[in-house]
Amino acid sequence: PGSPPLTYADTYRRWQADPERFWLDASAAIDWASPPTRAFDPDAGTYGRWFPDATLNACFNCVDRHVLAGRGEQPAILYDAPVINFAKPITYAELLDEVSCFAAVLRDFGVGKGDRVVIYLPMIPRAHVAMLACARLGAIHSVVFGGFAPAELAARIDDAAPKLILTASCGIEPGRTIPYKPLVDAAIAMARAKPQAVLVWQRPRLQAEMVEGRDHDWEALLEAAEGRGVDCVPVLATDPLYILYTSGTTGKPKGVVRDTGGTLVALAWSMSALYDVHPGEVFFCASDVGWVVGHSYGVYAPLLIGATTICYEGKPVGSPDAGAFWRVAAQYGAAALFTAPTAMRAIRKEDPEGKLFASYDGSKLRALFLAGERADAATVDWLMAATGLPVIDHWWQTETGWCIAGNPLGLGLLPVKPGSAAVPMPGYALTVVDENGRAVAAGTMGMFVVALPLPPGSLPTLWGDEARMRASYLDDHPGFYSTRDAGYVDEDGHVFLLGRTDDIINCAGHRLSTGGMEEVLAAHPDVAECAVIGINDAVKGEVPCGFLVLKAGVARQAAAVAGEAVALVRERIGPVASFKTALVVERLPKTRSGKILRGTMKRIADGEAYAMPATIEDPAALETIAAALAERNG
């Protein structure tokens, strides 16, 4: 009969008992050029390094080995672009040919082990090809979200000092075309570090102007290199696979480094244990490759295990309607869908009854995964009712590269508690501490810290700035990584995120969670999404202010809904919340990855100067916030 399947509790205890043995066992899922003889070196790097004596190649693990194993005719990538009415499967054999050929092109430009390449592309398969071709050569890629402003791109170019920039003539979204090449040109003009060359994928929608001597046509280079290839270059497990920039509090972006060996081990383990997705199955990660989720679960993890990944160039709504995700999942038989809570809130706003899911055959979908921002209980409840599927909110960060806490579907689904990110994954020893660094009791709000070392896949350092790494994450609580996320752990060990520590406000001496208030507001039947910020107050220090976006079709007076929302918070949380203001707005300002720009909203509310965030999706959304606040202030 065999041994019974491991449960989450068994697995977590096994990791606790012998962390190094746990990850050394997990490393057997990877094809190594020279396998690790030990899992961890505590004396290397900032806090130790994983698999310090091993060598491997990420591209070989994601592409070559599957072709060698007979998966050549299986689709590796399913490209679906409703914006241009185009779809195309790419098999593992086809992917190997193009990646190997493009790696030869990159090598012709002098790209080799350790060199950096900046990738500034839309959601097209060329982004996957570019990342894998860099990995094939042992080069370090740094993907910048397509459409980022030139100044932000220039800052990343200066920090990474890339040999090449890879871009496209444009990005295409519902109702608009975004010219990329002029943004790249402007960024290079601003940057001190000049790339040797720019390779441009010309799209039929818009042909970019080329700079003589510097710019090269990507497709023409591929055609000229047809039939050539490059073998995979082994690198140390501790060598960087990529740099991914995240916003820094000082304005200078932080270059999160992801090492090669630890990343592949963690991703391979998570695909089975957490997502319950296996070789030959289809995984739909609806995140742009410019974000960490797109790196980990749009490109590397599905290909690493021999699954099929969907490359979706579209939006959750408007491509053409709020059923777009359900159509894609059904059409390709996805086993799981991974997206951001804000995408589901957008779908709920347009389809509040959840009728569109039933229009498609979602019978192969086993679960929906949410990450990127806290998933409020109202959205999770709505989604479970609309789909009949388990909805798994899980918590992680750009810095960690994969899940800190989640509900491990592959180890047996734990009870879903709406509003909770479930339980810590192996590798994460979580503690909740107060402002003095003391551990707090179950159910008590505080800040989450993780005991060092961080698990494989997490950042070993920041690019070229170990001092900033220490100051940003390690110095506040020696021996721990500071997540800067606030919340609590309940009596069952389930993790509840309430927002960033910046989202905890002090109102008349009471520490209040804006996330807790948002949870209440989201439960109002007319509210599609919401945000709460703390506004400076001369008497109480800070008072909360809520912003509400109503569901499509709600015809009631905004003042009536706002009044009910205020009453709801006072009823559920109590007068101590001092929640007296709720403003109905057309939309909330968000980053392109879906995070609500609460910090910028607060600066507007407090009358402080603010810069337009480089990551903002719709700059006009800030004007709606300013107008609502101005009306409130008379």
What is the rounded average pLDDT of the residues 226-246? 96
Token pair 């009044």 in the structure block, residue: 563
Tokens standing for 598?
């609460």
Residue 360: count other Cβ atoms within 10 Å of its Cβ. 16
What is the rounded average pLDDT of the residues 503-520? 75
Residue 246: is its pLDDT beyond 80?
yes
What is the rounded average pLDDT of the residues 504-517? 73
| Cα distances (Å, whole numbers) of residue 375 to 104, 393, 493, 580, 594 | 44, 6, 18, 24, 12
- Residue 508: the pLDDT is 61
DSSP 8-state secondary structure symbol assigned to residue 620: H
Cα of 136 vs its chain's centroid, Å: 24
Question: Among 236, 244, 310, 254, which residue's Cα sits nearest to residue 277?
Answer: 310
| Cα distances (Å, whole numbers) of residue 198 to 182, 217, 519 | 12, 9, 46
- As a whole number of angstroms, the distance between CA 31 and CA 581 comes to 57
Is residue 203 within 8 Å of 21, Cβ to Cβ?
Answer: no
Tens-place pLDDT, residues 583-609: 999 999 988 777 888 888 998 999 888
Tens-place pLDDT, residues 550-563: 999 999 999 999 99
- 362-371, 387-396, 515-524: least confident range: 515-524
pLDDT class of 575 with cuts at 50, 70, 90: confident
Mean pLDDT of the chain: 93
- Residue 251: the pLDDT is 59
Ramachandran quadrant class, 45 (left: phi over 0; alpha: psi -120 to 50; beta: rest): left
Residue 159: is its pLDDT beyond 70?
yes
What is the rounded average pLDDT of the residues 201-224? 97
pLDDT class of 576 with cuts at 50, 70, 90: confident
Task: Count Cα atoms within 13 angstroms, Cβ side, for 96.
Answer: 21
- Residue 2: the pLDDT is 55
- Residue 289: the pLDDT is 94
Tens-place pLDDT, residues 439-469: 999 999 899 999 999 999 999 999 999 999 9
- As a whole number of angstroms, the distance between CA 306 and CA 287 comes to 19
Question: Among 233, 281, 235, 241, which residue's Cα sits nearest to residue 263?
Answer: 241
Q: Which residues of 188-209 are buried (b: 16+ CB within 10 A; e: fewer)?
A: beebebebebbbbbbbeebebe
Tokens standing for 230?
């490059």
pLDDT class of 217 with cuts at 50, 70, 90: very high
| Cα distances (Å, whole numbers) of residue 588 to 372, 432, 630 | 16, 30, 16
Is residue 458 within 8 Å of 429, Cβ to Cβ?
Answer: no
- Residue 248: the pLDDT is 56
- As a whole number of angstroms, the distance between CA 229 and CA 239 comes to 23
Residues across the chain: 634
What is the rounded average pLDDT of the residues 64-92? 97
Q: Which long-range contacts (CB under 8 A, 24 or more apart) does 413-416 make?
A: 413/367, 414/8, 414/494, 416/380, 416/384, 416/390, 416/391, 416/392
- 151-155, 244-248, 281-285, 338-342: least confident range: 244-248
What is the rounded average pLDDT of the residues 259-265? 98
Tens-place pLDDT, residues 278-302: 999 999 999 999 999 999 999 999 9
**pTM: predicted TM-score of the whole model, two decimal places:** 0.86
Question: Among 404, 408, 373, 378, which residue's Cα sits nearest to residue 392?
Answer: 408
